[in-house]
């Protein structure tokens, strides 16, 4: 990454990235690496990222997701980002899912994936392997919408 002009957390706008950095991202994408825009809607993220970068998904910042049930503006932002992402052929991930109600609302809005404390907390790899083996949130081949009815899911497809 050092020679590419990229860092794992580059705060620069895509327009300021070197052609080499964009070429490296395109090469990673072609190799099957899923590229995401994290915390979409806050900080340095912008529509310019979606326009210029070879991304596969956008992750809606938890500050909007947490207010989904109680704040009309947050709900409209979440709905709009989901629709924008889908209209551009991108997968949409909701960050900060902490309640079953928010998970159900996201499913109703057509969100593709969810992450947050409702599903699991950060953990080391050994704990994660054990958790995945026993977790109801490990859906396997079932669809997310089917699983939300049975209160189990982390991947919404």
Residue 40 CB coordination number (10 Å): 27
- Longest CA–CA span in the chain (Å) reads 48
Among residues 57, 83, 95, 98, the one annotated as catalytic is: 95
The answer to whether 120 and 95 have CB atoms below 8 angstroms apart is no
Tokens of 98: 């902490």
Known catalytic residue at 23: no
- 30 burial (CB, 10 Å; 0-12 / 13-18 / 19+) is exposed
Q: Strand pairing partners for 92? A: 58
Residues 80 and 19: their CA atoms lie apart, in Å, by 31
Integer CA distances (angstroms), 53 to 8, 13, 16, 96, 102, in order: 15, 10, 12, 24, 29
| Residues annotated as part of the active site | 95
């Amino acid at each position: 990454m050092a020679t590419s002009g990229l860092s794992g957390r580059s705060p620069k706008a895509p327009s300021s990235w070197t052609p080499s950095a964009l070429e490296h991202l395109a090469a990673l994408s072609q190799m099957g690496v899923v590229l995401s825009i994290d915390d979409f809607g806050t900080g340095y993220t912008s529509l310019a990222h979606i326009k210029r970068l070879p991304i596969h998904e956008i992750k809606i910042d938890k500050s909007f997701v947490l207010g989904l049930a109680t704040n009309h503006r947050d709900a409209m932002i979440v709905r709009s980002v989901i629709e924008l992402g889908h209209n551009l052929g991108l997968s949409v991930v909701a960050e900060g899912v902490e309640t079953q109600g928010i998970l159900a609302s996201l499913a109703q809005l057509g969100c593709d994936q969810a992450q947050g404390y409702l599903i699991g907390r950060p953990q080391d790899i050994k704990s994660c392997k054990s958790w995945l083996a026993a977790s109801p949130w490990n859906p396997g081949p079932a669809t997310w919408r089917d699983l939300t009815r049975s209160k189990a899911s982390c991947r919404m497809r």
